[in-house]
Structure 1
Amino acid sequence: MSEIRHIVFDIGKVLLHYDPEIPYRRLIPDEAERRWFLENICTNDWNVEQDRGRSWQDAEALLIDEHPTLEPHIRAFRQNWHEMVPHAYEDSLSVFEGLIDSGHDVTMLTNFAADTFAEARERYPFLKRPRGVTVSGEVGFIKPDRAIYDTHATVFGLTPQATIFIDDSEKNVAGAQAAGWQAVHFTDAKKLRSDLRSFGIEA
């Protein structure tokens, strides 16, 4: 196993809580109706295209054209996005900041729309602490596409086999491994500390 010299964090569900249901519990109180809306209208597949770089204006127009009576709830997704990221995970944030404080090379690689990431970065200053970040909405492709890992490695001068990636999505972990990186699946901070220790990193 190569010595790890670079540590790359995902953000959503690793450092920041994300739950699109939060505002919709208020906007669509009926659980069955709310679930139907998020599973059939403002779906994860629809939202991920904003992570790939599609504008919210185009995304909303697409759905409103198909479902004009749902326009208020469709527009509510972006309007209330700030409620979907209500807090950081203090335990994993402690790991993240501890690694930076101890001198490790830490960067971030995230599937995130460009504008919502800019908003998150202002609300959560710890997102400004690493050496840098690759945001999918800014580069035009998303994890687990091979191109985003290669882009991140090139931009930040990472040696793939000396890089460890931390993500809550198993397919994104597999994508990093396919790009030649070491990678671990994040479930909680305790497991993360153990996983890092197995690579010789105390956190």
Structure 2
Amino acid sequence: MKTTIIWDLGAVLIDWNPHHLYRKIFDDEAEMHHFLENVCTFEWNEEQDAGRTIQEANDYLIAKHPEHEENIKAYYGRWEEMLGGPIHDSVEILREMKSRDEHKLYALTNWSAELFPIALERYDFLGWFDGIVVSGTEKDRKPNHSFYHTLLNRYNLQPTEVLFIDDNLRNIKAAEQLGIESIHFRSPEELRMKLERMGIL
């Protein structure tokens, strides 16, 4: 019996994607991909999710790639342009869960502590959660088992009673190693179908 649903936020409920910004900066798609794969990388951004400050991140990367200083500074200077808005069909699923009031709802998100207040202000549905655990605040992140334990311990949750939803297969595998049943998010339509099969919707 699942008593609790834990949601990831980015790319599940919120359309966050650096491409939204850097397509405005680069005329050439291949150049944009090269920059995001070799300069402002996913791994570099994850360090901010784990608690490194934006100033420290910029200083580190500009020292390595001084020729890209302007575009590096744009990553966080124009960060809000990476937000494409809510993923409406996913938000509707969350709304239905909230209205049914049969499960506790939590969010477990890899997100910079400096930037998360912008999301809280922009997306009212974040107020529907019974609790949100933010990696940058905890200075820990998915897929570290310790980050999952932070949420479980804080809200006195048993892994077998929890369902976890995330778009990153790495994070799904980590949750499953802890005995947490998980759904790998690919689309709102597939998510709804799986939740209906489980009797959650």
Return the TM-score normalized by structure 2: 0.96
C-alpha distance in 2, partners of 1:187/1:200?
19
CA distance in structure 2 between the aligned counterparts of 1:32 and 1:197, rounded to whole angstroms:
40
1:99 is matched with: 97
- CA shift, 1:24, in A, is 1.2
User: How far apart, in 1, do the equivalents of 2:30 and 2:194 lie?
Assistant: 39
Deviates more, 1:142-151 or 1:28-37: 28-37
Quick one: distance in 2 between partners of 1:171 and 1:83?
A: 26
Alpha-carbon deviation of 1:97?
1.3
Structure-1 separation of matches of 2:196 and 2:178: 22
- State yes or no: 1:56 paired with 2:39: no
The DSSP-based 3-state class of the residue aligned with 1:87 is: strand
Q: Which residues of structure 1 form unaligned runs of 5+?
A: none
Are 1:159 and 2:154 matched, yes or no? no
Which residue of structure 1 aligns with residue 32 of structure 2? Answer: 34
- In the TM superposition, what are the counterparts of 1:43-192 in structure 2 within 5 Å? 43-103=41-101, 104-192=103-191
Q: 1:31 and 1:167 mapped to 2: Cα distance?
A: 27
Q: Any idea what the Cα deviations from partners look like across 1:109-165, whole Å, max 9, x if unmatched?
A: 011111221111101111121101111111111111100111101111211100000
C-alpha root-mean-square deviation of aligned residues, in Å? 1.1
Which residue of structure 1 lines up, in the alignment, with residue 8 of structure 2?
10
Instruction: Give the whole-Å Cα distance in 1 for the aligned partners of 2:49 and 2:193.
Output: 31
Gaps of 5+ in 2: none
Structure 1 position 194, deviation (Å): 2.0
Report the Cα distance in structure 1 between the residues aligned to 2:196 and 2:13, rounded to whole angstroms. Answer: 19
Aligned residues: 200
| In 2, Cα distance between equivalents of 1:114 and 1:81 | 14
Q: Which residue of 2 aligns with 1:22?
A: 20
Contact 1:4 1:199 in 2 (8 A): no
Give yes or no for contact 1:146–1:179 (8 Å, CA) kept in 2: yes
